[in-house]
Structure 1
């Protein structure tokens, strides 16, 4: 009696289900964490900036090691172990809050633990995408990346929606929900096909050598390097806006709370998800570098318009427009890496690219907290807008990014 053939398309469905579960949980955390810091604990903009820096820093610093571990591991079981551990931090924090214990230091420990695990989970999940695309989507990397981007950011939007009533339902029920979604993501990983590592000349584990090998490959690649430069410096300029400036703007200028924070984040990340979903249904973009650079201009325009103090619904609308453009730049930059990376180095090259593109976030969050204190929210938005114009011109004249095209 023969075993029925496996439907390889099911791999992509399970992968996307797990992606949705993981980023629904991340969206809840994205609203809950700054709300507790700024509204429950009433911390200053500087302290919020430091907290948001810690929410990203371990994931970035450990991402290269996570990529090295993923390149040497059987990806399915590796992801299952990591996601099982990730279920615990929200449950532990929920128990503390339920018993009336909540401090700034406890929140830092909570976010450090999840960020540390994220440094290993994200490279493994990104590397798994290429395996799934080859089996389930005929090797169409651009479409696989665009669909994954859409699932990631629309999942975050759903998480923001779930987290936005925090002021009414309290933090601990939402933390239990976050933990449940992470458990669902772990379950979906058990349904994927095994993904053994590619054969290597040196099978002995050498973490620091592996990390160096992946990072050097990213820096030396002529297609990836200019994208990395633009994304790194734009991360310094703009990631702090979302992590620090928007929560303070909503608290101090618009007198809002968790609901308003959730709406503005939903607008931005919903825009990314929508544009990524549309891109997945279109023909692959040929002039990828040009698309990335044109899309990057939108953030500066949005910041200038926010300076003129639009109504809160106007801020949401501007965030949506910015997200639509960001979906183009993010999906195309990620597709360039997926197309350029080799199987043996893919997880490390993706981790190195993540370090470069997201590495500006902790720096931007820290600096934004102090710029806010010095200038106030409405004037502070002009700083990244002005610096972005200088960055754009430098990338245009000094690198070949404008001329980069997709491989035929």
Structure 2
């Protein structure tokens, strides 16, 4: 939500594929999910009130719901302002503005296939549109990764010597690295970069050493947590530890590329994997929520100081057996509001820990939210630093050890 009150607006974002590729004709959709093919994929952003969206679509805009969106350059006074970003080889660097003239609810994949209200369109179009979710859902299934648990344990077993946490300045996105004494990354947690809607928050320069290919723990399959892989393709040669989640078309394309390279490892739901001085846990939130069913990492640096990386998980869904008091906490969801109360926020060591926030100035989601900042402060996280410019503090990477 972008505001509060009875007329509060929300940002609805859709990981999309062009309809002509999704009708199942001649296996077009299967050919689309490969490296080098970008044309069918897009991100659509609609800003309106939840009531207005449901009024037009016939169903709420919730994760797992599938819609057919009709978008044009212009429309009537009742059309909904819309932003459209088409996938390019380097991700989503640009977008165009138009309007959504019609939204048709196609069903939900909550039970693995379309269900729920019948689409409101009439005639032959109903039959054709009703098959679209079946074809797309099948194509978006997360590829399997045999013996993932054993391989994950082996991969994480090599993650040693972390002396520094570097929260990278990637604007409105998430990209953190555990680094050794020489500054080399031994583990990436998320590899995000802003898509075009928040492109104005991107840093002027963002360079990565292409010889560094540490394991990547992906918190969840949102674009602001994985988009850097398109700007820096060597990241696709890293081993990715990912949560088992329902994917949109664009995310599924990336998953298939990684699987084809033998780089995709699915972390078993509800499990915890220990590695030297750390652990990866699968959050306990509802599977339909990408944010709250993601992967989180707790690690002790060489100094003995403790770090918790949370992605976008609400603190109430953290699944580490014993978090204890922390020296460093990377605030969940870029400092956005969260549903749980202050009791769920992990405690700082002697009320002198450091809260780190990764966000971009003037982002379209209005992160961080003052309410979330106040809750962290009340819980003892008084010292707070962000990757964005804040007062006299210039933007940049933040390192703690």
TM-score, normalising length from structure 2?
A: 0.29
Q: Which has the higher contact order (CA 8 A, sep 6+)?
A: 1
Q: Which structure's residues are more often strand, by fraction?
A: 2
The two structures have a TM-score, normalised by structure 1, of 0.29
Which one has a larger percent helix, Structure 1 or Structure 2? Answer: 1
